[in-house]
């Protein structure tokens, strides 16, 4: 053999137990290992077969051998007491090839796994090249892949991301994954028809996905290369924002971006016929109340109303154009003018007391000011502005400016429409991706609501229907278990120390949990079914603008300040 092979970095030690689940490696004096390094070693069995064992370094320790007391360190460094520095690395095996689960033997030389060996160690070799979804970079800037079979529903679906706001960069990572999905070989030709729906829940971060990021310098752009991606903005983006309250023209209510934004709202007729009323009652407290019986009855009656053109409905001969008019008409039905008259049971539901009816009316009235600009048939140009999720590859629905009740209403209704459309089409392809942050708000663990039901439907049946949820939340412990459990891919950014101890993060080994509390922005732990060990990954700086100040030309072009500052907008 002329090839000496990769250099030996250490040997398996014999004073700590070596097991097939973890073992310690003494690092050779002139070599170093760092956390997340991928290593390989071989064990020859008595029958002559060779088992290749691959693993990832999950902890390191260094100590003085020959020292008995803590203060011996001073004696050793003063040259008085002989002592030796010894380093050891804890390795968690990721793969045995062939799969004979034996421990490595003490003394076995250990080498750094590079190139092909690294692919084997991380099971990338089991994924066909066109099914590799770039998911980020290792600390050594080598690409880390996801098996797209576990994303697109072939073997599993859904991605769940946890981490505290601000530093965990959950939304950035979700958009990076989306970019990777659309621009890598994973989707292939299907990328053209695949759609994504993104809810913008905080700030206006996601309103500039179609703009170059002027802050992306050449070095940051280079980091896309190892993954086979070309940095750039999303190509085909539709941005929808709620209308400005009180504006008869329904101009979208966005602060930093005016151009290319379209308003979204539902007509009174859609509200009635598509049975959207229950989504107004999606608070945790609603479920325990009797008045949902009334809401159900009213929803049924409204569905029977006839459209009177332009999205208005005819209600007992009255033309209803606004949400206020609709609420008044419903109130008239539920509360008779003469207190001695019994209310119409077709509207109230059977055997419902007046207290319950009044509770419903109060609840409906209080919803009025939050959603009146979202449910209307009074827009002068008469343009129908429901949500068309098929118009663009990526549709951003901005809900950050809405009240919580309105947010729930919009998320619930949009998801329901997407779900229904998929159910009707009867085909999983093309895929529909949905990015939703703050899952704890929409699918809370401890209560149920119409939105939670839909999210559960997506989580449990979305895989076969072709709806893939990329969900995120600060704390997975507050999200419905089944939503998280159905996600094949789990991602964890910076976690709160108390949260990191929860059982929901059982897939993270103890050291990883500890590290999760100090992860820096741009670093995440990625757990995927192919690998028994979560990998620490970094993802590159976004190539698309994430705020107005970043909007600029592609890197390498003249600085955006020299040009028309609005050139990128449009």
Q: How many CA atoms lie within 13 A of 124 on its CB side?
A: 21
C-beta of 84 vs 256, nearer to another protein:
84
Distance in Å, CB of 445 to another protein, minimum? 55
Q: Of these, 78, 99, 381, 503, which contacts another protein (CB under 8 A)?
A: 78
Part of the chain binding another protein (CB under 8 A), chosen from 52-60, 75-83, 333-341, 552-560: 75-83
Query: Is residue 79 within the footprint of another protein (CB under 8 A)?
Result: yes
C-beta of 85 vs 567, nearer to another protein:
85
Angle, CA of 245, 551 and 522, to the nearest 5°:
100
Distance in Å, CB of 24 to another protein, minimum? 19
Distance in Å, CB of 8 to another protein, minimum? 22
Query: Is residue 566 within the footprint of another protein (CB under 8 A)?
Result: no
Q: Please, which residues bridge with residue 525 across strands? A: 492, 536
Contacts of 376 (CB under 8 A, 6+ apart): 243, 250, 265, 266, 267, 268, 311, 321, 322, 323
Distance in Å, CB of 71 to another protein, minimum? 8
Residue 473 near residue 490, CB atoms below 8 Å = no
Query: Is residue 28 within the footprint of another protein (CB under 8 A)?
Result: no
Residue 210 parent element (H or E): none
One symbol per residue from 243 to 282: x for binding another protein (CB under 8 A), - otherwise; what is it? ----------------------------------------
Q: Quote the CA–CA distance of 497 and 502 in Å, as a whole number.
A: 9
Query: Is residue 446 within the footprint of another protein (CB under 8 A)?
Result: no
Residue 56 near residue 535, CB atoms below 8 Å = yes
C-beta of 80 vs 100, nearer to another protein:
80
Distance in Å, CB of 68 to another protein, minimum? 7
Query: Is residue 15 within the footprint of another protein (CB under 8 A)?
Result: no
Residue 273 near residue 315, CB atoms below 8 Å = no
Query: Is residue 62 within the footprint of another protein (CB under 8 A)?
Result: no
Q: Quote the CA–CA distance of 551 and 566 in Å, as a whole number.
A: 9
* Residue where the block lists tokens 């995440």: 524
Residue 545 is encoded by which pair of tokens?
Answer: 């603008």
Residue 301 CB: number of other CB atoms within 10 A?
A: 17
Residue 42 near residue 108, CB atoms below 8 Å = yes
C-beta of 72 vs 310, nearer to another protein:
72
Part of the chain binding another protein (CB under 8 A), chosen from 76-84, 128-136, 249-257, 468-476: 76-84
Residue 570 is encoded by which pair of tokens?
Answer: 């449009």
Distance in Å, CB of 65 to another protein, minimum? 9
Residue 147 near residue 511, CB atoms below 8 Å = no
C-beta of 66 vs 355, nearer to another protein:
66
Within 296-355, which residues bind another protein (CB under 8 A)? Answer: none
Query: Is residue 69 within the footprint of another protein (CB under 8 A)?
Result: yes
C-beta of 28 vs 485, nearer to another protein:
28
Distance in Å, CB of 70 to another protein, minimum? 11
DSSP string, 418-451: HHHHHHHH---PSPEEEEES-HHHHSBTT---HH
Q: Of these, 77, 249, 256, 366, which contacts another protein (CB under 8 A)?
A: 77
Q: Of these, 8, 75, 220, 511, which contacts another protein (CB under 8 A)?
A: 75
Contacts of 353 (CB under 8 A, 6+ apart): none
Which of 211, 232, 210 lies closest to 221 in space, CA to CA? 232
Q: Of these, 83, 228, 430, 548, which contacts another protein (CB under 8 A)?
A: 83
C-beta of 66 vs 166, nearer to another protein:
66
Residue 156 is encoded by which pair of tokens?
Answer: 């599993």
Cα separation values, 23 from 95, 243, 447, Å: 14, 60, 44
C-beta of 34 vs 84, nearer to another protein:
84
Which of 121, 143, 142 lies closest to 134 in space, CA to CA? 143
C-beta of 64 vs 318, nearer to another protein:
64
Which of 165, 224, 212 lies closest to 546 in space, CA to CA? 212
Cα separation values, 389 from 112, 414, 421, Å: 47, 9, 10
C-beta of 67 vs 293, nearer to another protein:
67
Query: What interhelical angle do 354-371 and 292-303 show, nearest 10?
Result: 70
Distance in Å, CB of 84 to another protein, minimum? 8
Which of 56, 62, 161 lies closest to 505 in space, CA to CA? 161
Distance in Å, CB of 66 to another protein, minimum? 6
C-beta of 80 vs 497, nearer to another protein:
80
Part of the chain binding another protein (CB under 8 A), chosen from 82-90, 410-418, 468-476, 542-550: 82-90
Query: Is residue 76 within the footprint of another protein (CB under 8 A)?
Result: yes
Which of 538, 569, 558 lies closest to 136 in space, CA to CA? 538
Within 84-103, which residues bind another protein (CB under 8 A)? Answer: 84
Angle, CA of 63, 68 and 74, to the nearest 5°:
70
Helix (H, G, I), strand (E, B) or coil at 97: strand
Part of the chain binding another protein (CB under 8 A), chosen from 62-70, 236-244, 253-261, 545-553: 62-70
Query: Is residue 29 within the footprint of another protein (CB under 8 A)?
Result: no
C-beta of 35 vs 81, nearer to another protein:
81
Query: Is residue 81 within the footprint of another protein (CB under 8 A)?
Result: yes
Part of the chain binding another protein (CB under 8 A), chosen from 69-77, 98-106, 443-451, 490-498: 69-77
C-beta of 30 vs 338, nearer to another protein:
30
* Residue where the block lists tokens 């991380």: 122
Q: Of these, 1, 15, 68, 189, which contacts another protein (CB under 8 A)?
A: 68
Residue 138 near residue 440, CB atoms below 8 Å = no
Which of 210, 26, 21 lies closest to 101 in space, CA to CA? 21
Q: How many residues bind another protein (CB under 8 A)?
A: 14
Query: Is residue 72 within the footprint of another protein (CB under 8 A)?
Result: yes
Ranges of H-type helices in 93-169 = 115-121
Q: Quote the CA–CA distance of 440 and 411 in Å, as a whole number.
A: 13
C-beta of 13 vs 159, nearer to another protein:
13
The residues that touch another protein, with contacts defined as CB under 8 A, are: 66, 68-69, 72, 75-84
């Amino acid at each position: 053999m002329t090839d000496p092979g990769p250099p030996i970095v250490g040997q398996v030690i014999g004073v700590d137990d070596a097991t097939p689940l973890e073992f310690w490696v003494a690092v050779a004096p002139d070599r170093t290992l760092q956390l997340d390094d991928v290593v390989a070693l071989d064990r020859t069995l008595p029958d002559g077969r060779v088992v290749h064992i691959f693993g990832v370094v999950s902890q390191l320790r260094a100590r003085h051998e020959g020292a008995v007391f803590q203060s011996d360190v001073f004696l050793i460094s003063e040259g008085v007491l002989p002592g030796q520095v010894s380093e050891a690395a804890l390795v968690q095996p990721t793969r045995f090839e062939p799969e004979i689960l034996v421990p490595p033997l003490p003394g076995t030389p250990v080498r750094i796994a590079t190139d092909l060996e690294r692919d084997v160690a991380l099971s990338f070799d089991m994924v066909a090249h066109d099914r590799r979804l770039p998911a980020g970079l290792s600390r050594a800037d080598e690409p880390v892949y996801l098996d797209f079979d576990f994303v697109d529903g072939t073997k599993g679906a859904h991605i769940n991301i946890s981490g505290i706001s601000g530093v965990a960069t959950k939304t950035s990572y979700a958009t990076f994954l989306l970019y990777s999905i659309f621009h890598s070989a994973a989707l292939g030709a299907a990328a053209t028809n695949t759609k994504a729906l993104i809810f913008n829940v905080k700030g206006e971060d996601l309103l500039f996905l179609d703009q170059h990021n002027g802050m992306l310098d050449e070095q940051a752009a280079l980091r896309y290369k190892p993954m086979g991606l070309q940095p750039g903005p999303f190509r085909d983006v539709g941005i929808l924002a709620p209308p400005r309250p009180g504006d008869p023209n329904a101009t979208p209510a966005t602060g930093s971006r005016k151009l290319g934004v379209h308003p979204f709202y539902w007509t009174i007729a859609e509200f009635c016929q598509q049975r959207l009323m229950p989504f107004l009652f999606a608070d945790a407290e609603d479920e325990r109340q009797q008045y949902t019986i009334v809401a159900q009855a009213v929803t049924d009656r409204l569905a029977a109303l006839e459209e009177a053109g332009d999205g208005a409905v005819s209600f007992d001969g009255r033309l209803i154009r606004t949400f206020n008019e609709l609420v008044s008409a419903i109130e008239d039905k539920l509360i008779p003018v003469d207190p001695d008259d019994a209310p119409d049971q077709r509207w109230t539901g059977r055997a419902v007391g007046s207290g319950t009816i009044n509770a419903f009316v109060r609840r409906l009235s209080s919803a009025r000011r939050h959603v009146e600009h979202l449910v209307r048939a009074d827009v002068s140009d008469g343009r129908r502005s429901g949500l068309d999720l098929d118009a663009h590859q990526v549709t951003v629905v901005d809900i950050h400016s809405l009240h919580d009740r309105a947010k729930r209403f919009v998320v619930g209704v949009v998801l329901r429409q997407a779900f229904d459309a998929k159910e009707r089409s009867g085909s999983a392809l093309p895929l529909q991706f949905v990015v939703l942050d703050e899952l704890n708000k929409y699918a809370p663990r401890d209560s149920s609501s119409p939105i939670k039901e839909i999210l559960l439907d997506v989580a449990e049946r979305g895989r076969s229907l072709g709806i893939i949820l990329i969900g995120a939340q600060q704390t997975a412990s507050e999200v419905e278990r089944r939503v998280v459990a159905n996600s094949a891919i789990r991602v964890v950014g910076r976690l709160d120390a108390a949260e990191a101890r929860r059982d929901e993060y059982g897939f993270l080994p103890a050291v990883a949990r500890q590290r999760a509390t100090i992860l820096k922005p741009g670093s995440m732990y990625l757990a995927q079914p192919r690998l028994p060990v979560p990998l620490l990954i970094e993802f590159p700086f976004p190539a698309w603008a994430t705020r107005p100040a970043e909007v600029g030309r592609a890197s390498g072009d003249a600085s955006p300040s020299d040009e028309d500052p609005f050139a990128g907008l449009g």
